[in-house]
């Protein structure tokens, strides 16, 4: 590995923050320029992060520590393979979601679009800051910026329902932030450092009982954003937000930041050996399994499409947590690959939900019978996303579940194979009936409503659905998630 000391890690953050500033200065009167700035910044950022990704894959690690915050704890930006993997996901989906947002916001003539695009840009800046954080304190700063920047997006409609959801959102996430900060302070007083180090920093720093307690404090702190049950209550409520915001929350920003943070804590603060030694992995696996099954059962009863997708997200995120808890190489690879796999599958589904709302004004699944004839492209993409989350072969979701099942067997834990197969059946139970009714429930022929949906909405749906198929049919292609996941796991396990 070659360490490169440079301010380069700050540039992607500055691109997003600069875009937010320009959009704020332009205001509502030049809305088209705001949209242009959003797309230009997203494209430039994706290009830069792609170039950085190729350099990190080649063995480079980028570092920048401009200022010291506490003795031995600088404000630290560090681009390693795990960080650039998450940043690449966020930058790509920012670009795709930016295009989608323009079509969505224009079609519904949404108010306060300047505020929307400003907060959107700050959210993505914070997400990349989380990816590039070199220590826990830097991570926490961006973690809380993300919480505050997403609040205006959650309450965008400013209805009573939205404001109540926003209060719940802040209550959960800020409370989790306080707990997370407490865990950080305990770590600092114990070790004198907060750096993310492969192998961890806590080994030999306390009794087994203390380290177990510290782990569960961390789990509560980051588990809120990860939506581990019973810390999930904010996520379904936040579905009052505009659909592009819901897509952002579920595919890359808040919940993925929480999951990414949990993996950082496990592998770069505790380390694999200590994580196994203190005996918390089996407990974490049980918590993840409970979330996977319970959230799937709750999804079954939801008639509102976005609410059903919300509970599906809660379940799917815990696949990643389960992979980390099992610690077998295949399970870890499946979990880390699922960071990207789930993102593309779930964003496809949310994009479809938004297209249906724009084209028909409908939100309830019971109102969507026979709709595939009216919106064939949208429902074809929805079918791909739904089959992917079930785990049907030739989709990204199949690759995830194949690796997780293999990892469960490698770890000598066949009970989790049963959990994963049960989850697949429940996924089928809440995705297949809507798909069936959309295609096969009879109703009088209606006009093709998809023509009401702009190509700024349809194009991202098509792109993401195609990626779901590509990730399932050629999973071992160079630079695809499995390749990066394999190398990340090799580094974590030092094999």
Alpha-carbon gap, residue 353 to 350, rounded angstroms: 5
What is the model's pTM? Answer: 0.94
In what helix (H) or strand (E) does residue 306 lie, and over which residues does it extend?
helix 305-326
Q: What is the rounded end-to-end Cα distance, in angstroms, of the chain? A: 15
Query: What pLDDT sits at residue 140?
Result: 97
Would you kindly state where each structural domain of the chain is located, as residue ranges?
338-495
Listed residue (371, 362, 126) closest to 243, CA to CA: 362
In sequence order, the β-bridge partners of residue 77 are: 64, 133
Q: According to the model, what pLDDT value does residue 286 have?
A: 96
Written as tens digits, the pLDDT of the chain (495 aa) is: 789 999 999 999 999 999 999 999 988 777 778 889 999 999 999 999 999 999 999 889 999 999 998 888 999 999 999 999 999 999 999 899 999 999 999 888 888 889 999 999 999 999 999 999 999 999 999 999 999 999 999 999 889 999 999 999 999 999 999 999 999 999 999 999 999 999 999 988 889 999 999 999 999 999 999 989 999 989 898 888 888 888 877 677 788 899 999 999 999 999 999 999 999 999 999 999 999 999 999 999 999 999 999 999 999 999 999 999 999 999 999 999 999 999 999 999 999 999 999 989 899 999 999 899 889 999 999 999 999 999 999 999 999 999 999 999 999 999 999 999 999 999 999 999 999 999 988 665 566 677 788 899 999 999 999 999 999 999 999 889 999 999 999 999 987
3-state secondary structure of 137: helix
Label the pairing between strands 2-5 and 60-70. Answer: parallel
Per-residue pLDDT, 444: 59
Tokens, residue 294: 């319970």
Is 322 within 8 Å of 289 (Cβ atoms)? yes
């Amino acid at each position: 590995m070659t360490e490169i000391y440079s301010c380069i890690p700050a540039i992607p953050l500055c691109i997003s923050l600069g875009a937010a500033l320009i959009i704020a200065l332009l205001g509502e009167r030049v809305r088209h320029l705001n949209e242009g700035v959003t797309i230009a910044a997203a494209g430039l950022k994706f290009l830069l992060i792609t170039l950085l990704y190729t350099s990190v894959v080649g063995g480079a690690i980028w570092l920048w520590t401009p200022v010291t915050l506490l003795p031995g704890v600088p404000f630290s930006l560090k681009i390693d393979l795990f960080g650039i993997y998450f940043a690449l996901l966020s930058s790509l989906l920012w670009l795709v979601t930016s295009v989608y947002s323009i079509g969505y916001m224009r079609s519904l003539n949404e108010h306060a679009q300047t505020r929307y695009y400003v907060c959107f840009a700050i959210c993505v800046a914070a997400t990349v800051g989380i990816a590039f954080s070199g220590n826990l304190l830097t991570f926490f700063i961006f973690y809380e910026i993300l919480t505050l920047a997403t609040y205006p997006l959650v309450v965008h409609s400013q209805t009573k329902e939205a404001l109540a959801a926003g209060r719940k959102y802040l209550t959960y996430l800020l409370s989790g932030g306080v707990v997370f900060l407490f865990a950080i302070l305990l770590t600092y007083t114990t070790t004198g450092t907060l750096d993310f180090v492969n192998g961890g920093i806590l080994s030999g720093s306390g009794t087994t009982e203390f380290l177990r307690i510290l782990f569960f404090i961390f789990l509560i702190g980051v588990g809120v954003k990860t939506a581990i049950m019973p810390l999930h209550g904010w996520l379904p409520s936040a579905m009052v937000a505009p659909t592009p915001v819901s897509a952002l929350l579920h595919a890359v920003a808040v919940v993925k930041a929480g999951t990414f943070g949990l993996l950082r804590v496990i592998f770069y603060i505790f380390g694999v050996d200590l994580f196994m030694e203190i005996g918390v992995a089996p407990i974490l696996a049980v918590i993840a399994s409970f979330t996977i099954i319970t959230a799937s059962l709750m999804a079954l009863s939801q008639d509102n499409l976005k609410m059903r997708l919300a509970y599906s997200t809660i379940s799917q995120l815990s696949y990643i947590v389960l992979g980390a808890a099992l610690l077998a190489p295949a399970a870890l690879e499946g979990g880390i690959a699922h960071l990207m796999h789930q993102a593309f599958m779930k964003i496809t589904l949310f994009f479809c939900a938004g297209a249906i709302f724009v084209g028909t004004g409908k939100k309830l699944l019971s109102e969507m019978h026979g709709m595939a004839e009216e919106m064939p492209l949208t429902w074809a993409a929805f079918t791909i996303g739904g089959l992917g989350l079930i785990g049907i072969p030739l989709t990204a979701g199949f690759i995830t579940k194949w690796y997780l099942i293999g990892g469960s067997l490698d770890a000598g834990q066949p009970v989790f194979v049963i959990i994963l197969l049960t989850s697949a059946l429940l996924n089928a139970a809440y995705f297949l009936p809507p798909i069936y009714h959309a295609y096969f429930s009879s109703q009088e022929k209606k006009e093709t409503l998809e023509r009401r949906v702009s190509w700024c909405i349809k194009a991202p749906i098509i792109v993401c659905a195609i990626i779901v198929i590509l990730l399932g049919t050629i999973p071992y292609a160079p630079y695809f998630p499995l390749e990066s996941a394999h190398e990340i796991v090799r580094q974590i396990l030092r094999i």
